[in-house]
Structure 1
Amino acid sequence: MTRLVIVVEKASDWGSYYPSVDVMSAMDYLREPIGNDDERTHVINLCRSYKYLGTGYYVSLLAEARGHRVMPSVRTINDLRRRSLYGLDIDDLNQKLTHFLPAGGRDTTDFGILVYFGETAYPALQDLTHQVFEMFPCPLLRIEFERERVWQVASIKPVGLHTLDDAQEDAFAAELDRFSKKLWRKPRARKRYRYDIAMLVDPNEQMPPSNKKALKSFVEAGKELGIEVDPIGKNDYQRLAEYDGLFIRETTASDNHTYRFAHRAEKEGMVVIDDPASILRCTNKIFLNDLMVSRKLAVPRTEILYRENTKSLKEVGEKLGFPIVLKIPDGSFSRGVVKVENAAALEKAAGELFQHSALLLAQEFLYTEFDWRIGVLNREPLYACKYYMSRGHWQIYNHGAKGTAKSGGFETIPVRDAPSDVVKLALKATNAVGDGLYGVDLKQVHGKPVVIEVNDNPSIDAGVEDVYLGEDLYLRVMQEFLRRMEHKRLGIGR
């Protein structure tokens, strides 16, 4: 059975249409209990804005965490936000505009059209809008054209349902009814067949996932297997298609160039670690929490705080008890994480963090002397470390007032010597995310493991994570790249 859910930001946005049981507000959807039934759910996200970390963004993010098929996806939202990304995809479409819009056919130098699920009121532009919709599946888009010497696509932007006039509402309703009866498709990936890997790094990053010696070890491991590992930077985007694989060794985020590189590489048919799906799933703690809960995996007791709902802020102290850990969803290396001891501190800290995100995580505070980190590659454990808390601090990383960060000690051990229940839980957590390279942070509380985070871009530093495996750690990563590249060349699955 398939369930359709239409999400609107405010109930009034649906006021011009007949009431429907399929329609719910964004807040109701975000608060909806995670179901255990087997029905497939399709979500059409009609929020007014898909701004990063805004309400519309979280509707799509949590829909994906719950296994729902959502339009637009988070990937589409991110792609539409970056003109440099989609400009590469629509170069051929711009060339066709001369046919659709002859140079002497209009006196104006710019105009725009609305696109409802790929359909438009301009028959001559129908082929164009279909192609745009396949690249950026989004319910409502506006394509802006501009003409200098020739017509060009100036921008492609999402449009809010609340901005439509009567005629446009009628057109949208007709296309919504038609589209809801169709199957959703994914674009086919292209394949390439060369054995070179681009390793994305930032020499100026203060806390990179791999230090210089580790990066050199990856290069040497590749040579041993007949693979050239070429370090590149963010300015090498246009060179990306020259390679067979992309290995990201720079701190990832869904709203910066690391995601753009991963997305481009995947579309080029390259082997990618970290793949764009893993970046989206791991770089947002709210998504991860929802994903872990939906898989019934042990996590700290957690409440989601909403910027527009002060009641939830007042109740969270009673539910979780103090101290409470507040987290901004896309923080990394312990940044954007605050421990509060009472209601006043909670209100103050939440007010500051809400300036950056519409939603926050509030979690019970679980003190341990160290966190476990289990490295996982292709659903198999790779390494095991204990990361001790920074001296006199409750986190592994203590970010000083001057912007410096100090970390606690570590202990790297064979995976076989790590507690079996810790390793098993780490594997279950990564199985929910994908089959890439991950680092799972866990705590042991009263003898039982709890998942804290799954990192898509785990630290692999020379002298830390490689203490037990040595050069074999780097060789195993490169062997996985080789295996995947050969599978692509032979046209078989992973």
Structure 2
Amino acid sequence: MTAQEYLEHSCEVEGGKRVQVINLCRSYKYLGHGYYCSLLAEARGHRVLPSVRTISELTRKALYGLALDDLDKTLEKALANHPYGHTEGFTLSLYFGKTELEPLQDLARQIFDVFPCPILLVEFRNANGWHIDGIKAGALPKLRDDQEHQFANSLDAFSRKVWRMPRSRRLARYDMAILHDPAESLPPSNAKALESFIRVGKGLGIDVELIEKKDYSRLAEYDALLIRETTSLDNHTYRFAKKAESEGLVVMDDPASILRCTNKVYLTDLLKSHHLGMPATEILYKDRPQELEQVAERLGFPLVLKIPDGCFSRGVIKVQDQQALLEATAQLFEHSVLLLAQEFFYTEYDWRIGVLNRKPIYACQYFMSKGHWQIYNHKAKGQDINGECRTLAVHEAPRAVVDLAVRTANLIGDGLYGVDLKQAGDKVVVIEVNDNPNLDAGIEDAYLQDDLYGLVLEEFIRRLELKRRGQAW
């Protein structure tokens, strides 16, 4: 329909259907027809491309410039062996994130993920290396015949993804996306667990679909997002969480939880300020090498060094003496200006207490990898990379362990967390809090079976129902 027809069209949506609007106005000028179409689409609860936010960001380089820094890094490699690589610059037209310039297709998709707009004109410049000089929205009437053909094909492909939904989706109460990476070597949920989420979700009226990094632009199709991929602030998982939150989805884990859990310096300060049990820990600073000897005297050897954002036992080194301390800190300071030094607290196994919405839901004992002092031994081969696991009912775990886990998780938020603890006699200490804890078939679900997946999905349903009624959870 025309822009005028849409503006005058009733905001009522028949039968509660969800509406996807593709705004192809010739201009998105502020307070113009195109701008108002996107603005009213959002007011009517329609899902619109481009959004008012995207329109606003594309008008000012100060707003979108920061997002270009990461994209610039992939340009040199993409253009290295292409004819465009020897020019001073060129402008690339993108249609729904598609380009016929194959070396730049991955970059085109990333640009569309950040700025979802039907037509984008991206200006590349070669000045001491390739960089993106500017991005602006394009207009359909200005396309040449060959470009119109490309646009039509891209629109057709995009429309099929948006509108062609299986019958089960129309019957489900809610649609949930699970972000995963099939190629990840140590994912938070194995393939069988993901299948269980889909199967259990169907019984609860949730249509669960697995998505990957390439599906960023599709997030608005869903009501909820569960991240089952190792999270990090500097990769797409955090962007997915931020995008999902901004689109109004119920998301686990939320951006704030990822931010808090992925940095051990934050957790150390949090535990100290609330006087919760943890191993003796000190922060090391790259520009204060003279303090290394004093730290060793206070903590004693052996001690453990950690980079703030390590996971799955990576970036964690045990040192036996001063020489090893100097060598290890020199290595780790290349990755972070702050390190953690912690007393060595050996136990036969670590406790992992799963906490969801401030309540414990499972308890596991993770034993150390064979012949190693950690659960994960990344130098091991085959199945020996991690130790054995034993799952118990929550009430079978020591009360002191469960209570400390819940108190710690509650300081992070009300999402899904895995709190790692050690216990020796009466002493219980927190090692770390994971924002996307393992939920693996055959391990964490060994006691609860399908009920574990049901607990997680039912919490999503509870939040979605409260959101529908306009209440906070």
Note whether the superposition's TM-score is higher than 0.5. Answer: yes
Q: Of residues 294, 298, 301 in structure 1, which corresponds to 2:273? A: 294
SS state at 1:472 partner: helix
Measured after TM superposition, the shift of residue 91 of structure 1 is 2.9
Rounded Cα–Cα distance in structure 1 between residues aligned with 2:58 and 2:412: 39
In structure 2, do the counterparts of structure 1 residues 89 and 249 end up closer, same or farther at CA, with 3 Å as the change threshold? farther
Alignment-derived partner of residue 463 in structure 2? 484
In structure 2, do the counterparts of structure 1 residues 299 and 224 end up closer, same or farther at CA, with 3 Å as the change threshold? same
Contact conserved, 1:399 with 1:405, CA < 8 A, in 2?
no
In structure 2, do the counterparts of structure 1 residues 94 and 201 end up closer, same or farther at CA, with 3 Å as the change threshold? closer
Rounded Cα–Cα distance in structure 2 between residues aligned with 1:405 and 1:336: 19
One-letter code aligned to 2:55:
D
| 2:343 is aligned with 1:364 | yes
Contact conserved, 1:295 with 1:432, CA < 8 A, in 2?
no
Alignment-derived partner of residue 339 in structure 1? 318
Q: Which protein, 1 or 2, shows the higher relative CO under an 8 Å CA cutoff with sep ≥ 6?
A: 1
Q: Of residues 218, 232, 249 in structure 2, which corresponds to 1:270? A: 249
RMSD: 2.5
Rounded Cα–Cα distance in structure 2 between residues aligned with 1:474 and 1:402: 31
Contact conserved, 1:194 with 1:243, CA < 8 A, in 2?
no
1:331-384 CA distance string (max 9 Å, x none): 111111000000000000000000000100000000100000000000000000
Aligned ranges for residues 4-403 of structure 1 at < 5 Å?
91-93=54-56, 154=134, 195-400=174-379
Measured after TM superposition, the shift of residue 88 of structure 1 is 7.9
Aligned ranges for residues 431-450 of structure 1 at < 5 Å?
431-450=410-429
Measured after TM superposition, the shift of residue 147 of structure 1 is 11
Rounded Cα–Cα distance in structure 2 between residues aligned with 1:330 and 1:94: 31
1:37-93 CA distance string (max 9 Å, x none): xxxxxxxxxxxxxxxxxxxxxxxxxxxxxxxxxxxxxxxxxxxxxxxxxx9885322
1:424-481 CA distance string (max 9 Å, x none): 0000000100000000000012322100010001011100011110110001100000
SS state at 1:427 partner: helix
Measured after TM superposition, the shift of residue 407 of structure 1 is 1.0
Contact conserved, 1:249 with 1:457, CA < 8 A, in 2?
yes
Contact conserved, 1:194 with 1:244, CA < 8 A, in 2?
no
The structure carrying a bigger helix percent of its residues is: 2
Rounded Cα–Cα distance in structure 2 between residues aligned with 1:95 and 1:328: 37
Rounded Cα–Cα distance in structure 1 between residues aligned with 2:276 and 2:58: 51
1:201-236 CA distance string (max 9 Å, x none): 000000000000000001111111101111000000
Alignment-derived partner of residue 20 in structure 2? none
Rounded Cα–Cα distance in structure 2 between residues aligned with 1:467 and 1:94: 48
One-letter code aligned to 2:209:
D
Percent identity, aligned pairs only? 60
SS state at 1:398 partner: coil
In structure 2, do the counterparts of structure 1 residues 421 and 461 end up closer, same or farther at CA, with 3 Å as the change threshold? same
1:154-181 CA distance string (max 9 Å, x none): 49xxxxxxxxxxxxxxxxxxxxxxxxxx
In structure 2, do the counterparts of structure 1 residues 220 and 327 end up closer, same or farther at CA, with 3 Å as the change threshold? same
Alignment-derived partner of residue 112 in structure 2? none
What TM-score comes out, normalization by structure 1 length?
0.62
The structure whose Rg is larger is 2
Specify every segment of 5 or more residues in structure 1 that has no aligned partner in the other structure, as ranges: 1-86, 99-144, 156-192
Paired residue total: 323
Rounded Cα–Cα distance in structure 2 between residues aligned with 1:275 and 1:343: 40
SS state at 2:370 partner: coil
Contact conserved, 1:254 with 1:283, CA < 8 A, in 2?
yes
In structure 2, do the counterparts of structure 1 residues 268 and 324 end up closer, same or farther at CA, with 3 Å as the change threshold? same
Rounded Cα–Cα distance in structure 2 between residues aligned with 1:440 and 1:284: 14
Alignment-derived partner of residue 52 in structure 1? none
Contact conserved, 1:376 with 1:383, CA < 8 A, in 2?
yes
SS state at 1:357 partner: coil
